Amino acid sequence: MVMIDPANIHVANTYARFPVTFVQGKGASLYDSNGREYLDFVSGIAVCSLGHCHPAVTEAVKRQVDTLMHVSNLYWTDPQLKLADLLCRHSFGDRVFFCNSGAESVESAIKLARRRGRMVKGPDAYEIVCLEGSFHGRTLTALSATGQPVYQHGFEPLTAGFTHVPVNDIRSLELAVGRRTAAVLMEPVLGEGGVRPLSDEFLTAARSLCDRHRALLMFDEVQVGMGRTGTLFAYEQTPVEPDVMCLAKALANGFPMGAMVARAEAMEYLPPGTHASTFGGNPPACAAAMAVINVMTQPGFLQRVKELGEYFHAGLVKIASAHNAVVKECRGRGLIQAVELRKPVPDFAMRLLEDGYLVLLGHGRIVRFLPPLVVERDQIDRMLKALEERVADISA
């Protein structure tokens, strides 16, 4: 651990950072500036899903950087065409808009929904229905879609036209979706909001309400897409398909990239000149993403994620039942898992960091685990052991 004096640094103070500087990573391990190893169950918040410095991604980026680093989106490039093809072959989509982050991908989806709503339903049809507790990013409009006032305070006025309904509340959704609705936007499993999967009934209701009211069903899979839940996309484990899907984070395993995937009949409402991104889909990012998809679609890869997810979940359930007075619940799908503590323990992630383990802590009491999908069983065992010891320390 290193103590950094905030008075002597020039990086903006927007993050509550842990007192550690990482200099190297390999697989599920990170190494700090003193050479100490940590087991990474954060993965850059669901980014380095193939583990740190996966050779297929590193090689693909190196090769592409030596060949062509950037040209404007006024021209075609091979990597972008190939990646769009790959994403569409593996999903419901027909067209992809490339960008650089999750928030940018959500912004693109919102712009698409608004323009389509206006053209298909009329000038009043600009509303986007979202979920309470959701998280969609920090740009002003993605923040307006986000269903957590705690992130919005101080930035008002927010972008108009967003309503929020409670998770899995079909009646509220029915009341919210109507003539003015351009789209329903939701994470199929809420990530930052505490790892809460949406019910099949709720998703089916959302799909039929969107169809009835000619609105788009848009899934934000920025956190739970790209293999995290045990299928390439989380929607594959639900009874519905969306019309639009937002991706980022693990898409290029740490190379900054976002994408908005849509059906052709939706994407046609963003014709030339309506939206753009200078760096979006540049060749090294596309090369990285192609390498990611190639690895994740190898036979057995996603099945292993499912099995490891079940193994990890079973271990968490065991801890929860042994420490019932401290742990309220375990939730998860694939390798996004959470343990909800009965009361806040604000330094819980710090305690585990001291032991050499990286985990996320939301709202002071939701411990979230996002190990790389290539994590080994014995690494999960080590994490479970460290977790149990720290849980046992907490007095009920």
| Phi, psi of 77, deg, nearest 5 | -130, 150
CB 289 to ligand PLP: min, Å:
14
Name which position in 44, 117, 191, 284 contacts ligand PLP (CB under 6 A).
191
Residue 243 binds to ligand PLP (criterion: CB under 6 A): no
Q: Measuring CA to CA, how many Å separate 208 from each of 59, 94, 266, 376?
A: 44, 21, 17, 41
Q: Are 280 and 97 in contact (CB under 8 A)?
A: yes
Q: How many CB atoms lie within 10 A of CB 24?
A: 13
Residue 187 binds to ligand PLP (criterion: CB under 6 A): yes
Residue by residue, DSSP assigns 324-349 as TTTEEEEEEETTEEEEEESS--TTHH
Q: Are 224 and 332 in contact (CB under 8 A)?
A: no
Which residue number is nearest to ligand PLP in terms of Cβ?
102
Instruction: Please confirm, yes or no, whether 220 is among the known catalytic residues.
Output: yes
Residue 234 binds to ligand PLP (criterion: CB under 6 A): no
CB 187 to ligand PLP: min, Å:
5
CB 106 to ligand PLP: min, Å:
6
Q: Residue 61: name the closest of 260, 252, 280 by CA.
A: 252
Residue 49 binds to ligand PLP (criterion: CB under 6 A): no
CB 37 to ligand PLP: min, Å:
26
Name which position in 223, 229, 337, 379 contacts ligand PLP (CB under 6 A).
223
Instruction: Please confirm, yes or no, whether 135 is among the known catalytic residues.
Output: yes
| Nearest to ligand PLP of 79, 191 (CB atom) | 191
- Of 50-58, 62-70, 131-139, 267-275, the segment contacting ligand PLP by CB under 6 A is 131-139
Choose the catalytic residue: 41, 97, 98, 135: 135
Token pair in block for residue 140: 């002003």
Could you give the 3-state DSSP secondary structure of residue 22?
A: strand
Interacting positions 86-105 with ligand PLP (CB under 6 A): 101-103
Q: Say whether the peptide bond before residue 166 is cis (omega within 30 degrees of 0).
A: no
- Of 216-224, 261-269, 295-303, 353-361, the segment contacting ligand PLP by CB under 6 A is 216-224
Q: How many CB atoms lie within 10 A of CB 187?
A: 27
Residue 107 binds to ligand PLP (criterion: CB under 6 A): no
Q: How far apart are CA 396 and CA 251, in angstroms?
A: 40
Q: Residue 257: name the closest of 115, 96, 147 by CA.
A: 96
Name which position in 112, 185, 210, 248 contacts ligand PLP (CB under 6 A).
248
| Nearest to ligand PLP of 225, 315 (CB atom) | 225
CA quadruple 239, 204, 186, 342: dihedral positive or negative? negative
- Of 72-80, 129-137, 261-269, 381-389, the segment contacting ligand PLP by CB under 6 A is 129-137
Name which position in 222, 291, 373, 384 contacts ligand PLP (CB under 6 A).
222
| Nearest to ligand PLP of 127, 187 (CB atom) | 187
CB 143 to ligand PLP: min, Å:
10
Choose the catalytic residue: 249, 255, 312, 348: 249
Residue 280 binds to ligand PLP (criterion: CB under 6 A): no
What secondary structure letter does DSSP report for 42? S
Q: Are 162 and 146 in contact (CB under 8 A)?
A: no
Could you give the 3-state DSSP secondary structure of residue 246?
A: strand
Q: How far apart are CA 209 and CA 128, in angstroms?
A: 13
Residue 40 binds to ligand PLP (criterion: CB under 6 A): no
Q: How far apart are CA 270 and CA 266, in angstroms?
A: 8
Residue 225 binds to ligand PLP (criterion: CB under 6 A): no
| 356 CB-side CA count, 13 A | 15
| Nearest to ligand PLP of 289, 386 (CB atom) | 289
Name which position in 54, 136, 331, 333 contacts ligand PLP (CB under 6 A).
136
Q: Are 150 and 127 in contact (CB under 8 A)?
A: no
Residue 108 binds to ligand PLP (criterion: CB under 6 A): no
CB 138 to ligand PLP: min, Å:
6
Q: How far apart are CA 113 and CA 192, in angstroms?
A: 24
Interface positions with ligand PLP (CB under 6 A): 45, 101-103, 106, 135-137, 187, 191-192, 220, 222-223, 248
State the catalytic residues.
Answer: 135, 220, 249
